[in-house]
């Protein structure tokens, strides 16, 4: 296997952390209980699969990066971290004035 980049190492570490805390789900939405399956998921998300083409690995790595930035990982969901869009929707329901110009931190403060 080729040397992993810093981003790839962090992805594998995050996936294994999710597995350890029972937050990792498979494609069907069931919790992953097998360590080997968790490792395979981590390597696939990191774009390190030797069975897939380089283009497919790049696509998987980019998809994972987008999900991490959007806060759509199992770890974020378990910790209650919400995306800016989710915070905006909550502010809209509470009718917070000026919500469209607020940052994520300001939306969190306005909602709580």
CB 12 within 8 A of CB 38: no
Is it the case that residue 73 has pLDDT exceeding 80? no
First-to-last C-alpha distance (Å) of the chain:
47
Whole-angstrom CA distances from 76 to 10, 12, 71, 98 are 15, 15, 6, 27
> How far apart, in whole angstroms, are the C-alpha atoms of residue 81 and residue 56?
29
Q: How far is CA 45 from CA 21, 49, 101, in A?
A: 18, 9, 34
Per the prediction, the chain carries an average pLDDT of 84
Q: Is the pLDDT of residue 1 over 60?
A: no
Instruction: Say whether pTM exceeds 0.75.
Output: no
């Amino acid at each position: 296997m080729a040397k992993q980049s810093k981003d790839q190492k962090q992805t594998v570490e995050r996936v294994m952390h999710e597995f350890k805390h029972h937050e990792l789900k498979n494609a069907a939405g069931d919790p992953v209980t097998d360590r080997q399956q968790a490792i395979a998921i981590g390597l696939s998300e990191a774009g390190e699969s030797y069975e897939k083409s380089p283009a497919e690995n790049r696509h998987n790595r980019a998809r994972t990066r987008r999900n991490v930035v959007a806060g759509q990982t199992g770890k974020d969901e378990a910790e209650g971290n919400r995306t800016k869009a989710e915070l905006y929707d909550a502010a809209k329901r509470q009718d917070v004035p000026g919500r469209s110009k607020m940052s994520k931190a300001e939306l969190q403060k306005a909602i709580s």
